Structure 1
Amino acid sequence: MTDFASAQTTTKTKTLNNETTGAKKVLIAYFSQSGNTRAMAKQIKSATGGDLFEIVPLKAYPKEYKVLVDLAKDEIGKGYKPELKSKIDNLSQYDVIFVGSPNWWSTIAPPVATFLSLARFEGKTIVPFMTHGGGGQAHMVADMKKLCPGATFLKALPISGSSVKEAQPEVTKWVTELKLAK
């Protein structure tokens, strides 16, 4: 890996191996605080054969729930976008990008906002997925669209965090309906 510097990101550049789904090259980029969104991302990988990329903030979020909730509310209210540990240097190789986030205060987590802000998604297909504690997708997709002008968005899949472990059949059905199954 080589060092990469950006105003928003103190990063290491990461080149991912391409795997194809039909004629489409698929990336699954996600941020996961508790592991639920990571589990869903792995299920999507299983269904698509795409590459995984974990969006990791430079500074880790606190583990204590109340502290995390207060910090997330503050960051979202201020439009804060944290620096990320790494970025993808070959995003242009991908046709379809699944983007996953937990639902934090009815929107995407700030690290996902950073990821979407740092890349150009014009001409790409974005497939949102999210985990939640009862809030569904809220306005997460609308907020992603604001950060990705020129991208095409496909149907999102929200899954309750308490149901993620049993969600593989639902994820596979969704990916198949989108014509992105391997």
Structure 2
Amino acid sequence: MKKVVTAVLAAFLLSAAAAHAAPAGPGKNILVAYFSYSGNTANIAKEIHRRTGGDLFEITIVDPYPSDYHACLARAKDEQQKDARPKLLSKLADVKKYDTVYLGYPNWWASIPMPIASFLEEYDLSGKKIIPFCSHGGGRLGRSVSAIAKLCPDSEICEALSVHYGGGGTLSRDIDAWLARLAAEK
């Protein structure tokens, strides 16, 4: 019985912390934007969206990456070496209405995938709070946060969340703890 009460109390405290972590009130419009290749980042984005609200937006490109993982990696490496900007297929109607942008992506070659660079250059995020989250296979955040800061020098870049692959059984707890830290920084 004691374990059940402890588990229920822990779940309540984590959900309360997550509820307070999401910016609320007028002028605190949230966008959860993400690029996902394998679905890991999409699942993380959906969990963040569930906790923060706002709008969920998938960044897609005109010429999708090959389904073969090795071919995808080769193309991603080539795009990074050429500093390419893949053409975006998905479009946001009005980025001005957002104050906070949770930005998700996989770590590709120790940085952001080039569709993220396309997104950051296409939309003016000056004066907005950008909160990165990154899925990875072991490379953690790499140089991704500094790449975002370089592309968005007039935005506030907040603490990033690093998630190994899809996050496994600790994903919910990791997101809640991260959101609680972000809320404490306000």
Equivalent residue pairs, number? 161
Q: Residue 52 of structure 2 is aligned with which of 24, 48, 54?
A: 48
Give the aligned partner of residue 164 of structure 2.
160
- The structure where helix makes up a greater share of residues is 2
Percentage identity across paired residues of the two chains:
39
- Cα offset for 1:164? 4.5
Give me the TM-score of the superposition, normalised by structure 1: 0.84
Give the aligned partner of residue 24 of structure 2.
22
1:128 aligns with 2:132: yes
Give unmatched runs, 5+ long, in structure 2: 1-21
Preserved contact between residue 43 and residue 166 of structure 2 (Cα < 8 Å): no
Over the aligned positions, Cα root-mean-square deviation in angstroms equals 1.5
Matched residue of 1:101: which SS? Answer: strand
Cα distance in structure 1, aligned partners of 2:110 and 2:58: 21
Cα distance in structure 1, aligned partners of 2:58 and 2:168: 17
Give the aligned partner of residue 75 of structure 1.
79
Over alpha carbons, which structure has the higher Rg? 2
Cα distance in structure 2, aligned partners of 1:165 and 1:46: 17
- The structure where strand makes up a greater share of residues is 1
- Cα offset for 1:124? 0.4
Stretch of structure 1 that moved more, 145-154 or 165-174: 165-174
Give unmatched runs, 5+ long, in structure 1: 1-19
- Cα offset for 1:165? 5.7
Cα distance in structure 1, aligned partners of 2:75 and 2:169: 27
The runs of 4+ residues in structure 1 deviating greater than 2 Å are 162-166
